[in-house]
């Protein structure tokens, strides 16, 4: 494989936001195991992986002007590992793959429709909602909806404790995840809910969400 190709592949992998992507895919696999066999759970996890690639790449593409202005050299587009055109092509192909993989997996038609909704919600966050007071809403929909995709495809409803747990913990993650770039985000006009309430309030809200999850599990 040519060095240029290796560079592109490396850039694409990094642009998926590799750590969070691995976490979401792993969670998806174990969530699927609550209803399906190991092979079927792998098929679902692969479909979710393709979807996560789309979400990560879209985020990278949309944020490119801001990342460039802030000289974030750890970002793949700013570092020149990949180009915007390569990213657009990858997003288009992988989005189609994510939906097709969902459709031929145990998720079926119903689970694929839910998966599409989750991707739409995450994309709406990347494109606009992350700059608004509704920034936490896509986390509620995209993560809270994941158990629904799996359970509805199996002809069941997920238990309340499961999808509520996804909602509470993912919302807490949202308030914590933005803290490292909080000041830069504010200076660039990215005014999501955590940026509006500030660092201290974000920490308190995240802690309360985690505590609420722990209390809910005891009920």
**Domain range list for the chain:** 3-154
Q: What is the pTM of this model?
A: 0.93
Cα gap 176→174, rounded to integer Å: 5
In order of 11, 24, 91, 100, the CA distances from 96 in angstroms are 21, 20, 9, 6
Structure tokens at 96: 């189609």
Q: Where are the alpha helices (DSSP H) in 70-198?
A: 76-79, 84-104, 108-127, 137-144, 146-153, 160-177, 182-187, 193-197
Is residue 35 over pLDDT 90?
yes
The CATH-assigned architecture of domain 3-154 is: Orthogonal Bundle (1.10)
Is residue 47 over pLDDT 90?
yes
What average pLDDT does the chain have? 93
Residue 163's pLDDT band, with cuts at 50, 70 and 90, is: very high
Residue with the two structure tokens 């192909």: 93
pLDDT digits (tens, 9 = 90+) for 84-121: 999 999 999 999 999 999 999 999 999 999 999 999 99
């Amino acid at each position: 494989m040519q060095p240029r190709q290796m560079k592109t592949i490396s850039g694409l992998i990094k642009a998926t936001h590799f750590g969070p992507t691995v976490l979401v895919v792993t969670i998806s696999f174990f969530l699927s195991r609550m209803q399906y066999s190991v092979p079927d759970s792998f098929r679902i996890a692969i479909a979710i992986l393709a979807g996560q690639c789309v979400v990560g790449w879209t985020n990278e593409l949309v944020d490119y002007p801001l990342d460039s202005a802030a000289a974030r050299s750890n970002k793949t587009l700013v570092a020149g590992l990949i180009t915007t055109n390569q990213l657009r092509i990858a997003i288009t192909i992988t989005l189609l793959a994510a939906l097709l993989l969902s459709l031929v997996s145990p998720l079926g038609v119903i689970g694929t429709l839910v998966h599409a909704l989750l991707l739409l919600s995450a994309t709406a966050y990347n494109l606009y909602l992350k700059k608004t007071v509704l920034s936490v809403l896509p986390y509620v929909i995209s993560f809270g909806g994941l158990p629904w995709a799996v359970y509805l495809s199996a002809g069941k409803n997920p238990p309340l404790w499961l999808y509520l747990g996804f909602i509470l913990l993912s919302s807490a993650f949202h308030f914590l995840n933005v803290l490292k770039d909080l000041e830069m985000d504010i200076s660039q006009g990215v005014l999501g809910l955590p940026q509006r309430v500030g660092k201290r309030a974000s920490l308190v809200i995240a802690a309360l969400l985690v505590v609420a999850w722990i209390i809910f599990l005891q009920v």
